[in-house]
Structure 1
Amino acid sequence: MSSAQNQFKAGQTHGKTQAKTEQWVESCKDSANTARENTAHAADQSAGFLQQTGEQVKSMAQGAIDGVKNTLGVGDNNNRK
């Protein structure tokens, strides 16, 4: 094989390798972006769930406080008599 043929094949191999590398890098970028978007979506869902749960706990605590006040006779319902 001549030197020119070897250089041509080396150039082809280099070009193919470079193209594959660029495809791989793009694929990694796409995967990273998808993972980032999925993580952000999951965080948003978690925040919403925690906020809703916090509101429920707050409401239950207020109901318990009102129940105790009424039992002790210091609740709003007992002051109106």
Structure 2
Amino acid sequence: MSSTQFNAGQTHGKTQAKTEQWVESCKDSANTAHDKAAHAADQSAGFLQQTGEQVKSMAQGAIDGVKNTLGVGDNNNRK
């Protein structure tokens, strides 16, 4: 085997190793990004659920207030 062939083989091996390192690095970056996105989505879902419950409670309070003002609320029917 000539030194040119040896050098070409050696260069090919180094290039292949670097490519594999780069691919693994990309996979790691993609997994990290995926994990962060999933965590953010979970936090957003929890926030939206909590906000929805608060709005629902406030709306029910407003409805009860209007009913009581009009004399049709539960408190007025028990007399």
Same fold by TM-score, threshold 0.5 exceeded?
Answer: yes
How much does 1:2 deviate?
5.1
Mapped to 2, the partners of 1:55 and 1:27 lie a distance apart of 42
Deviations 1:39-79 (A, max 9, x none): 11111111000000000000000000000000000001111
Aligned pairs, how many?
A: 79
Identity %: 92
Q: Distance in 2 between matches of 1:11 and 1:67?
A: 84
Using the alignment, how far apart are the partners of 2:4 and 2:71 within structure 1? 102
**Distance in 2 between residues matched to 1:4 and 1:54, nearest whole Å:** 71
Name the CA distance, whole Å, in 2 between partners of 1:2 and 1:80. 105
Structure 2, unaligned runs of 5 or more: none
* Cα deviation, residue 80, structure 1: 1.1
What SS is found at the alignment partner of 2:72?
coil
In 2: Cα distance, 1:23 partner to 1:2 partner: 29
TM (norm. structure 1) is: 0.91
Superposed structure 1 runs of 4+ greater than 6 Å apart: none
Cα-Cα RMSD:
1.8
SS in 2 for 1:74: coil
